[in-house]
Chain A
Amino acid sequence: HVQLQQSGPGLVRSSQTLSLTCAISGDSVSSDSAAWNWIRQSPSRGLEWLGRTYYRSTWHYDYAVSVKSRMTINADTSKNQFSLQLNSVTPEDTAVYYCASGWSLQYWGQGTLVTVSS
């Protein structure tokens, strides 16, 4: 049974970088059958997929067009976790951020409410 534990600050200032980490237990970030996603949820945007990483002999990264220029996902095999960095945030990036595994998103982190202050 996979568990995902999120960590990171709940308050970020405008123009700064939002950074969150998702620690994995019960699976490996470099599993050749898994995928690791970031999703956010806000009243204005609903559930919005942001990006994912997965390992198939090499690392793959996919990003939503809306955040592609500002977002980076990293996988850390030594800590069995993956992370999200979103640069140049604005109040519109205020949302609950989730990490989740798979293509149909089988396991989810607990969620982190991130507020971007102006």
Chain B
Amino acid sequence: DIVMTQSPDSLAVSLGERATINCKPSQSILYSSNNKDSLAWYQQKPGQPPKLLIYWASTRESGVPDRFSGSGSGTDFTLTISSLQAGDVAIYYCQQYQSLPLTFGGGTKVEIK
């Protein structure tokens, strides 16, 4: 199984400041058919299912604000919230879909400082 390691476990950021979350797969998650990394990012608020933010490591899902961006390649990926808003308080997860079983990171809790 591909292990997804997220860091940090939690972070507190001031409103309007940048938040950065890291995700490290235990092996390559490159999808050879399109040469893209099979990595997704989700946002989960209490009592709600996860919401897809980013797929193919850097493609923003329709309707997701452009302050959310994904980057990285190989075994190092990052989700950046460029200017944290109050509504961004949530737990963020990365997930690989290159091979079965689909696996998720342990989550990063983002709070307001």
Chain A CB within 8 A of B104 CB: yes
Query: What's the least CB distance linking B53 to chain A, in Å?
Result: 10
Residues of A within 8 A of B101 (CB): 49, 64-65
The bracket for how many chain B residues form the interface is 20 to 34
Contact A105 B95 (CB under 8 A): yes
Contact B50 A108 (CB under 8 A): yes
Query: What's the least CB distance linking B102 to chain A, in Å?
Result: 4
Chain A CB within 8 A of B107 CB: yes
Q: Which of B91-113 contact A (CB under 8 A)?
A: 93, 95, 97, 100-104, 106-107
Q: Which of A20-60 contact B (CB under 8 A)?
A: 37, 39, 46-49
**A109 vs B48: C-alpha distance when bound (angstroms):** 9
**A70 vs B31: C-alpha distance when bound (angstroms):** 30
Contact A62 B100 (CB under 8 A): yes
Query: What's the least CB distance linking A24 to chain B, in Å?
Result: 15
Given the interface pairs A103-B38, A104-B95, A104-B97, the reply to whether A46 lies near B50 with Cβ below 8 Å is: no
Binding site for B on A (CB under 8 A): 37, 39, 46-49, 62, 64-65, 98, 100, 103-106, 108-111
